[in-house]
Amino acid sequence: MTNRPTDAAPALADPAPPLSDERLRREGRLRRAFGRPELGALAGTILVFLFFGIVAGDTGMFSAKGVLNWLEVSAQLGIIAIGACLLMIAGEFDLSLGSMIGFAGMVIAIPVTQYGLPLWAAILLAFSFAMAVGYLNGIIVIRTGLPSFIVTLAFLFILRGLTIGLSRLLTNRTLVGGVREHAEGDWFAALFGGKVGGPIFVWMAQHGWLDTLPNGQPVVQGVSMVIVWWLVLAVLANWLLKRTRYGNWIFASGGDAVAARNVGVPVTRVKVSLFMFTALCATVFAACQVVDFGSADSQRGMLKEFEAIIAAVIGGALLTGGYGSVVGACFGALIFGVVQMGIFYTGVNTDWFRVFLGVMLLIAVIFNNYVRKKVTGGR
Partner 1 sequence: MDADVPLIEVSRLSKFFGSVIALMDVSMSVRAGEVMCLLGDNGAGKSTLIKVLSGVHRPSEGEYRVEGRAVDFSSPRQALDMGIATVYQDLAMVPLMSVTRNFFLGREPVKGMVPFRHFDFAAADTIARQEMRRIGIDVRDPQQAVGTLSGGERQCLAIARAVYFGAKVLILDEPTSALGVSQASMVLKYIMQARARNLGVIFITHNVHHAYPVADRFTMLNRGRTLGTFRKEDVSKDEVIDMMAGGKELQDLSAEIAGMTERI
Find all residues with CB under 8 Å of 337, minimum gap 6, and list them.
70, 71, 72, 73, 74, 75, 77, 78
Task: Give the nearest distance from C-beta 319 to partner 1 in angstroms.
Answer: 13
CB of 14 to partner 1, least distance (A): 19
**1 or 202: whose CB is closer to partner 1?**
1
Of 118 and 255, the one with the shorter C-beta distance to partner 1 is 255
* Pick 156 or 256: Cβ nearer partner 1: 256
CB of 148 to partner 1, least distance (A): 19
Which of 239, 117, 238 is closest to 188 using CA atoms?
117
Q: How far is the CB of 371 from partner 1 (least distance, A)?
A: 11
> Is 305 buried (19+), middle (13-18) or exposed (0-12) by CB count in 10 A?
buried
Residue 1 or 117 having the CB closest to partner 1: 1
Q: Which residues bind partner 1 (CB under 8 A)?
A: 2-7, 19-21, 24, 35, 239, 243-245, 247-249, 251-252, 255-256, 259-260, 262-265, 318, 322-323, 372, 375-377, 379
Q: Least distance from C-beta 323 to partner 1, angstroms?
A: 5
The residue (of 145 and 264) whose beta carbon lies closer to partner 1 is: 264
Of the pair 32, 207, the CB lying nearest partner 1 is at 32
Asked if residue 306 lies in contact with residue 352, where contact means CB atoms within 8 angstroms, the answer is no
Q: Checking phi first, is residue 195 left (phi over 0); if not, alpha (psi -120 to 50) or beta?
A: beta
- Measured between alpha carbons, how far is 272 from 86 in angstroms, rounded to an integer? 12
Beta carbon of residue 228, minimum distance to partner 1 (angstroms, whole number): 20
